Amino acid sequence: MVPRYSRPEMTAIWTPEARFRIWFEIEAHATDALAELGVVPKDAAEALWAWWRTDPAIDVPAIDAIEAVTKHDVIAFLTWVADNVGDQARFMHQGMTSSDVLDTCLAVQLARAADILLTDLDALLAVLKRRAIEHKMTPTIGRSHGIHAEPVTFGLKLAQAYAEFARCRARLVAARADIATCAISGAVGTFANIDPSVEEHVAAKLGLTVEPVSTQVIPRDRHAMFFATLGVIASSIERLATEVRHLQRTEVLEAEEYFSPGQKGSSAMPHKRNPVLTENLTGLARMVRGYVTPALENVALWHERDISHSSVERYIGPDATITLDFALARLTGVIDKLLVYPERMDKNLNKMGGLVHSQRVLLALTQAGVSREDSYRLVQRNAMKVWESDGQLSLLDLLKADPEVTAALSPAQLEEKFDLGYHLKHVDTIFARVFG
């Protein structure tokens, strides 16, 4: 966790205090269920909640000090609770194993983290939609391979991003469901010492589903899928960030990250206005992706479990969710305040001397009966002249002057092929598909 790439709400999920609070709730709900079954006295469960209602501070250093002796975190916690609650606390954790607490707690933490990320995605989607509609009909050049292709609109670029993040949202909903399970099944998952109804009770109280079959631990394919999904979302962030970085290049400059008055782009070069936020997002995406493989390697635990996954999750649980939360919020801010320059888009669009319309001419020639091969040759030989003139020559002028072309198409027919509106006639259709 890097403080400068962290936001408080997400970070709070991963504090020791938060973890201990969830542990307590799991233990206390389980004790309720055990009391209901008659396994432990009802007043044992009540004693726990009575203490909890006093809103006790979690004394993390005290718990850590106990762990330093026992070398076991859950036992340390139980000991500390017993020190506070008194004798009745001894009925806590009956028939349970540490992983019942640890894995169910992780499920709660990841589910909460997913909820924040879903909220982040909603905010991003809202901003993307607003700005997409704002620039629905702002023409700009579409580029393949970094080379001018044909006109699109800036709104279309954002609509694409909207559709992509909407998919990411659906994937995260599925990934959340995958990890939001509760296991209270004992040392090897057989419920030997605890009735399955305890698990059902705790699951219901914590908003989780029941893990159908656990083996001391909740199976890690669930977590692997969760972190893999975060890696996909991070890659989509990188895609949109890369788009902004390209648009802000000196020679392109069709859009810019918002540049605040006090900001300095460079200690040496005062004119610099750099796309540092989106470059930063590119780096953050690398990190979130980097956490995918350790999560995948965590799946193949030995037999009913080994603990190798635990250290990995102490890193990537916080790091992946905190980083992605920050990145989504940063991207939302970038898009929200993005400076968009339609005049520059228009200037760039026209700088190639009309080359972007070459395909329409190609099609028109074909439809006028010229063979596809000949049509291609005719367009290409004129296009290449425009290309080599760096946009000083006009494709339309050259075509009008090419007798082989004019034998098939009249000047008026040629002119009609250079109409920008032609390219934008289905923008409504696409927007309807994306935004409904």
User: Of the candidates 26, 289, 321, 335, which one interacts with its own copies according to CB under 8 A?
Assistant: 289
- Chain positions 179 to 218 lying near its own copies, rule: CB under 8 A, are 186-193, 196, 210, 212-216
Min CB(415)–its own copies separation in Å: 17
Q: Rounded CA gap, 155 and 432, in Å?
A: 13
- Reading the block at residue 59, the tokens are 């004394």
Parallel, antiparallel, or unpaired for β 209-210 and 181-182?
A: parallel
Q: How many CB atoms lie within 10 A of CB 381?
A: 13
Q: Which stretch binds its own copies (CB under 8 A): 28-36, 48-56, 238-246, 399-407?
A: 238-246
Q: Rounded CA gap, 412 and 90, in Å?
A: 93
Nearest of 178, 232, 228, 182 to residue 205 by alpha carbon: 182
55 vs 252 by CB, closer to its own copies: 252
Q: Does 269 bind its own copies (CB under 8 A)?
A: yes
18 vs 55 by CB, closer to its own copies: 18
Q: Which stretch binds its own copies (CB under 8 A): 42-50, 55-63, 346-354, 402-410?
A: 346-354
Query: From the candidates 29, 93, 145, 246, which is the catalytic residue?
Result: 145
Nearest of 180, 15, 187 to residue 98 by alpha carbon: 187
Min CB(139)–its own copies separation in Å: 11
User: Of the candidates 6, 11, 119, 366, which one interacts with its own copies according to CB under 8 A?
Assistant: 366
Query: From the candidates 144, 148, 223, 266, which is the catalytic residue?
Result: 266
- Reading the block at residue 137, the tokens are 């009909």
Spell out, one character per residue from 55 to 94, where the chain touches its own copies: x when CB under 8 A holds, - when not: --------------xxxx-xx--xx--x-------x--xx
Chain centroid to CA 226: how far? 11
Nearest of 249, 255, 257 to residue 278 by alpha carbon: 257
53 vs 389 by CB, closer to its own copies: 389
User: Of the candidates 46, 59, 304, 402, which one interacts with its own copies according to CB under 8 A?
Assistant: 304
Q: What angle do CA 161, 162, 164 make, to 5 degrees?
A: 65
Nearest of 53, 33, 54 to residue 42 by alpha carbon: 33
User: Of the candidates 6, 11, 119, 236, which one interacts with its own copies according to CB under 8 A?
Assistant: 236
C-alpha dist (Å) from residue 185 to 105, 141, 351:
14, 60, 69
Q: How many CB atoms lie within 10 A of CB 391?
A: 15
CA dihedral for 131, 136, 138, 139, sign (positive or negative): positive
Min CB(382)–its own copies separation in Å: 9
- Annotation marks residue 309 as catalytic: no
Q: Rounded CA gap, 28 and 93, in Å?
A: 9
Q: What are phi and psi of 230, to 5 degrees?
A: -60, -35
Burial 89-113 (b: 16+ CB within 10 A, else e): bebbbbbbbbbbbbbbbbbbbbbbb
Distance in angstroms between the alpha carbons of the first and the last residue of the chain: 39
Q: Which stretch binds its own copies (CB under 8 A): 26-34, 43-51, 151-159, 406-414?
A: 151-159
Min CB(55)–its own copies separation in Å: 26
- Reading the block at residue 321, the tokens are 């969710």
Min CB(420)–its own copies separation in Å: 10
Q: Rounded CA gap, 357 and 383, in Å?
A: 10
Min CB(57)–its own copies separation in Å: 20
Q: Which stretch binds its own copies (CB under 8 A): 26-34, 43-51, 108-116, 255-263?
A: 255-263
Min CB(106)–its own copies separation in Å: 14
Q: Of how many residues is the chain composed?
A: 436
88 vs 332 by CB, closer to its own copies: 88
- Annotation marks residue 266 as catalytic: yes
Q: Does 346 bind its own copies (CB under 8 A)?
A: no
53 vs 331 by CB, closer to its own copies: 331
Q: Does 302 bind its own copies (CB under 8 A)?
A: yes
Spell out, one character per residue from 96 to 135, where the chain touches its own copies: x when CB under 8 A holds, - when not: xxx-------------------------------------
- Chain positions 369 to 398 lying near its own copies, rule: CB under 8 A, are 371-373, 376, 379-380, 383-384, 386-387, 390, 395
Q: Which stretch binds its own copies (CB under 8 A): 49-57, 117-125, 139-147, 406-414?
A: 139-147
Q: Rounded CA gap, 94 and 39, in Å?
A: 9
Q: Which residues are catalytic?
A: 145, 266
